[in-house]
């Protein structure tokens, strides 16, 4: 018997083939939970879903869920210098609190009971180091989630103890007085799992040149600071799971919102959010799988506003709500070629408080206390028509106190010619009820009047999506969509003399249409790259392009393998010009992250955000007189990470 040795070239080719096979397998095995509230194949999910996993996010130096979402196709972030926002498919209204997007952490709704906000940056009680993957479900999701899931659903899947065993600590210092300490601990046993994370962060912010505000030299100094404390703790034992998320964020306001005194300290915002959950998931018992979730949550906002030079008038704005949600769900696969899901959800908020008052002399301007209840039932059928064809249909009925019942249907036809390719045709309707802030906020006509007879927004959407995974480990995707939103709720000026006083009204409809295309390549040797391009057209019923709505975006990233202990990750984001009070020019943002692995347990990293130091602006928001909002300039950050 003779033995033939492989040549070096043949060995390299064999290794490359093995690498491609492993990359292909990883792409085909990707799972998501967001579209149907249970784990399923990304290719079979009844929606177009974009996913960012932990390894890529870490290599790019992400710190927040907003950083992670900005990498996904069709997404653009907003920053008013007080709050962040998230734009999807050309829709991000100036001053919007992302109420048309449902934000969830491990399936638990984050949107609060006052503003319905789902904000992606430090307002969220999660940081990037605790995230296993981020799922963005494009398009309406009310057939499963109810109100708020109008334009999409973000489901943040957090780490389990088994994913990150031991103690990891990280310290960061950077520009503008940035200091950060983050730690997380994970432990797992045969039938239990524990994960705890803590994040402490602060920055003094930038000194801003804002001559429109009329300060003595045009500069606003020392008023852009931000501080955050966030906590995540969760424990699973068998089918039972308990979790706690909490965050407190303090933000100074440099943009003189609502006519406050420019350049004067004391105008700031404090937001606190606590989410608690007890859940049960027994797993499959024959053809049945039952689960239940009881969650309690609380949100509190305090705004402090300084008016006038001397003597100064201080105004306080408060909002506070607690809410409880009970959900039960059952999956059943006892019918041949069908998997059915039935669920019910009850949400109650005993008292949504909104108060506004002057401190000295005391003058009460608003004291609104409203009870809000909502109930929903839903069903979904995933029917395998043949070995290559699947039809998913769903329907949810919701009733929110004060509004007529709303029905949200969905139908998705998926064609799978083979395991590497998927075509999907999707149709869905969705809705959003006006929140308590839009309905009841009235400070006596100083800035806003109470709204009367607001009706829920309604949305119809059709979409086609294609996904294909090549043997080489390349993943291709494309989707086209057409969305029409009716009875849009917008701030409108009241009276003809001034635009200072606003009122929320149903103002008409908008139309969103566009195309997203993307390609990514991953290989087990460490190289990874991703590119996506989006073309968007968002217009109102008069045919005018929406404000803060770009017509195109192009983004990508590249992660190198570790070479001599070094690894480089870069990402870029080009965004077309947008209209507002003035037209905001095309923006080009480049970030870079260089990591050095000191040893297997320790690393150092240098991160540059806006590495090219480009001047970037966002369209202005209704609360400030600025023509446009300047975005952060180049900033550096040094990270040190150690794992025990």
Give the tens place of pLDDT for each residue, 62-84.
999 999 999 999 999 999 999 99
Confidence label for 85 from pLDDT (cuts 50, 70 and 90) = very high
Whether the pLDDT of residue 495 is over 50: the answer is yes
The whole-number pLDDT of residue 18 equals 52
Whether the pLDDT of residue 9 is over 60: the answer is no
Contact at 8 Å (CB) between 437 and 354? yes
Q: Which of 249, 282, 280, 254 is nearest to 267 (CA)?
A: 254
Cα distances from 475 to residues 416, 420, 422, 524, 606, in angstroms, run 15, 9, 12, 15, 30
- Whether the upstream peptide bond of residue 240 has omega within 30° of 0, thus cis, is no
**For the chain, which residues make up each domain, given as ranges?**
169-643
Please state, in angstroms and rounded to a whole number, the distance separating the CA atoms of residues 26 and 39. Answer: 16
Question: What residues form DSSP beta bridges with 186?
Answer: 166, 195
The whole-number pLDDT of residue 4 equals 38
pTM: 0.93
Beta-carbon count within 10 A of 117 CB: 25
Please state, in angstroms and rounded to a whole number, the distance separating the CA atoms of residues 377 and 346. Answer: 9
Please state, in angstroms and rounded to a whole number, the distance separating the CA atoms of residues 126 and 122. Answer: 8
Query: What is the arithmetic mean of pLDDT over 40-61?
Result: 94
Whether the pLDDT of residue 296 is over 70: the answer is yes
Beta-carbon count within 10 A of 148 CB: 26
Q: Which of 249, 281, 286 is nearest to 268 (CA)?
A: 249
Question: What residues form DSSP beta bridges with 421?
Answer: 418, 468
Please state, in angstroms and rounded to a whole number, the distance separating the CA atoms of residues 218 and 106. Answer: 45
The whole-number pLDDT of residue 447 equals 84
Whether the pLDDT of residue 16 is over 70: the answer is no
pLDDT single digits (tens) 238-272: 999 999 999 999 999 999 999 999 999 999 999 99
Please state, in angstroms and rounded to a whole number, the distance separating the CA atoms of residues 147 and 118. Answer: 13
**Beta strands in 286-312, from DSSP E residues, in sequence order:** 288-307
Whether the pLDDT of residue 395 is over 70: the answer is yes
The whole-number pLDDT of residue 396 equals 98
Rounded to the nearest 10°, the torsion over CA 398, 400, 405, 409 is -30
pLDDT single digits (tens) 195-225: 999 999 999 999 999 999 999 899 999 999 9
The whole-number pLDDT of residue 629 equals 96
Question: What residues form DSSP beta bridges with 249?
Answer: 228, 271
Please state, in angstroms and rounded to a whole number, the distance separating the CA atoms of residues 63 and 34. Answer: 22
Please state, in angstroms and rounded to a whole number, the distance separating the CA atoms of residues 227 and 282. Answer: 40
The whole-number pLDDT of residue 501 equals 84
Tokens of 151: 């334009």
CATH tag, 169-643: 2.40.170.20
Contact at 8 Å (CB) between 533 and 540? no
Please state, in angstroms and rounded to a whole number, the distance separating the CA atoms of residues 305 and 60. Answer: 37
pLDDT single digits (tens) 403-437: 999 999 999 999 999 999 999 999 999 999 999 99
Q: Which of 149, 38, 143 is nearest to 397 (CA)?
A: 143
Rg of the chain (C-alpha set): 25
The whole-number pLDDT of residue 20 equals 57
Spell out the residues 6+ positions from residue 493 whose beta carbon is closer than 8 angstroms to its own.
499, 500, 501, 502
Question: What residues form DSSP beta bridges with 226?
Answer: 203, 251
pLDDT single digits (tens) 20-34: 566 677 777 789 999
Q: Which of 263, 271, 272, 366 is nearest to 306 (CA)?
A: 263
Using a pLDDT cut of 90, give the percent of the chain over it.
Answer: 86
The whole-number pLDDT of residue 22 equals 65
Whether the pLDDT of residue 526 is over 80: the answer is no
Whether the pLDDT of residue 276 is over 80: the answer is yes
Whether the pLDDT of residue 459 is over 50: the answer is yes
The whole-number pLDDT of residue 21 equals 64
Q: Is 313 left (phi over 0), alpha (psi -120 to 50) or beta?
A: beta
Q: Which of 368, 357, 628, 622 is nearest to 504 (CA)?
A: 622
Tokens of 9: 């070239």
Please state, in angstroms and rounded to a whole number, the distance separating the CA atoms of residues 418 and 421. Answer: 6
Rounded to the nearest 10°, the torsion over CA 284, 288, 289, 291 is -150
∠ at Cα 83 (82, 89), nearest 5°?
140
Using a pLDDT cut of 70, give the percent of the chain over it.
Answer: 95
Query: What is the arithmetic mean of pLDDT over 583-606?
Result: 97
Please state, in angstroms and rounded to a whole number, the distance separating the CA atoms of residues 548 and 81. Answer: 16
Confidence label for 390 from pLDDT (cuts 50, 70 and 90) = very high
Confidence label for 496 from pLDDT (cuts 50, 70 and 90) = low
**Beta strands in 127-239, from DSSP E residues, in sequence order:** 131-138, 152-158, 166-174, 178-188, 192-203, 208-209, 219-220, 226-237
Burial of 512: CB neighbours in 10 Å, binned 0-12, 13-18, 19+: buried
The whole-number pLDDT of residue 473 equals 85
Sheet containing strand 101-105, edge to edge, reads 48-53, 131-138, 152-158, 101-105, 108-109
Question: Which is more confidently placed, 15 or 47?
Answer: 47
**Element (H or E) spanning 279, and its range?**
strand 268-285
Whether the pLDDT of residue 162 is over 90: the answer is yes
Average pLDDT, the chain: 93
Q: State the pairing for strand pair 152-158/101-105.
A: parallel
Please state, in angstroms and rounded to a whole number, the distance separating the CA atoms of residues 577 and 468. Answer: 32
pLDDT single digits (tens) 334-369: 999 999 999 999 999 998 999 999 999 999 999 999
Lowest mean pLDDT, pick from 310-314, 394-398, 456-460, 598-602: 310-314
Lowest mean pLDDT, pick from 491-495, 505-509, 510-514: 491-495
Contact at 8 Å (CB) between 306 and 312? yes
Please state, in angstroms and rounded to a whole number, the distance separating the CA atoms of residues 16 and 10. Answer: 10
């Amino acid at each position: 018997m003779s033995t033939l040795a492989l040549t070096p070239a043949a060995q390299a080719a064999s290794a490359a083939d093995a690498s491609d096979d492993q990359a292909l397998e990883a792409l085909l095995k990707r799972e998501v939970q967001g579209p149907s509230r249970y784990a399923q194949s990304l290719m079979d999910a009844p929606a177009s879903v974009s996913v960012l996993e932990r390894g890529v996010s870490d290599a790019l130096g992400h710190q927040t869920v907003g950083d992670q979402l900005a990498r996904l196709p069709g997404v653009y972030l907003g920053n008013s210098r007080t709050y962040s926002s998230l734009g999807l498919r050309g829709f991000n209204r100036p001053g919007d609190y992302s109420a048309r997007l449902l934000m969830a952490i491990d399936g638990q709704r984050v949107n609060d009971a006052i503003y319905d906000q789902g904000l992606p940056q430090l307002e969220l009680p999660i940081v990037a180091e605790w995230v296993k993957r981020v799922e963005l479900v494009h398009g309406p999701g009310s057939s499963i989630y109810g109100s708020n899931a109008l334009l999409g659903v973000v489901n943040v899947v957090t780490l389990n103890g088994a994913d990150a065993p031991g103690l990891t600590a990280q310290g960061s210092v950077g520009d503008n007085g940035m200091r950060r300490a983050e730690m997380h601990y994970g432990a797992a046993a045969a039938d239990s799992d524990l994960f705890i994370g803590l994040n402490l962060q602060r920055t003094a912010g930038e000194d801003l040149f804002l001559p429109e505000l009329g300060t003595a030299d045009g500069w606003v100094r020392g008023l852009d600071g931000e501080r955050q404390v966030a906590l995540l703790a969760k424990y699973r034992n068998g089918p039972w799971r308990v979790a706690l998320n909490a965050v407190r964020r303090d933000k100074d306001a440099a943009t003189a919102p609502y006519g406050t005194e420019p350049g004067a300290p004391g105008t700031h915002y404090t937001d606190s959010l606590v989410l608690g959950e007890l859940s049960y998931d027994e797993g499959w018992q024959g053809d049945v799988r039952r689960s239940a979730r009881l969650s309690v949550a609380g949100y509190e906002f305090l705004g402090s506003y300084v008016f006038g030079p001397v003597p100064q008038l201080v105004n306080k704005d408060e909002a506070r709500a607690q809410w409880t949600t009970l959900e039960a769900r059952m999956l059943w696969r006892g019918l041949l070629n069908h998997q059915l899901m039935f669920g019910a959800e009850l949400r109650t908020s005993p008292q949504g408080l909104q108060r506004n008052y002057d401190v000295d002399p005391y003058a009460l301007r608003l004291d609104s206390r409203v009870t809000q209840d909502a109930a929903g039932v839903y069903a979904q059928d995933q029917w395998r028509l043949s070995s290559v064809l699947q039809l998913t249909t769903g329907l949810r009925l919701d009733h929110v106190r004060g509004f007529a019942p709303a029905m949200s249907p969905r139908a998705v036809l998926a064609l799978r010619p083979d395991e590497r390719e998927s075509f999907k045709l999707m149709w869905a309707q969705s809705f959003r009820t006006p929140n308590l802030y839009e309905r009841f906020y009235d400070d006596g006509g100083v800035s806003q009047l109470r709204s009367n007879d607001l009706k829920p927004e309604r949305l119809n959407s059709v979409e086609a999506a294609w996904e294909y995974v090549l043997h080489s480990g390349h993943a291709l995707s494309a989707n086209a969509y057409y969305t029409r939103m009716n009875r849009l709720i917008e701030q409108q000026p009241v009276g003809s003399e001034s635009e200072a006083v606003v009122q929320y009204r149903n103002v008409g409809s908008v139309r969103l249409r566009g195309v997203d295309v993307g390609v990514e390549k991953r290989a087990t040797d460490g190289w990874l790259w991703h590119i996506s391009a989006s073309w968007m057209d968002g217009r109102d019923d008069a045919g005018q392009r929406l404000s803060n709505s770009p017509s195109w975006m192009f983004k990508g990233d590249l992660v190198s393998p570790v070479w001599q202990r070094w690894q480089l990750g870069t990402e870029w984001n080009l965004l077309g010009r947008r209209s507002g009070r003035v037209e905001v020019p095309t923006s080009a943002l480049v970030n870079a992250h260089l990591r050095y692995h000191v040893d297997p347990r320790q690393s150092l990293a240098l991160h540059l955000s806006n590495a090219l130091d480009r001047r970037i602006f966002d369209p202005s928001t209704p609360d400030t007189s600025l023509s446009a909002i300047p975005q952060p300039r180049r900033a550096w950050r040094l990270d040190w990470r150690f794992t025990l």
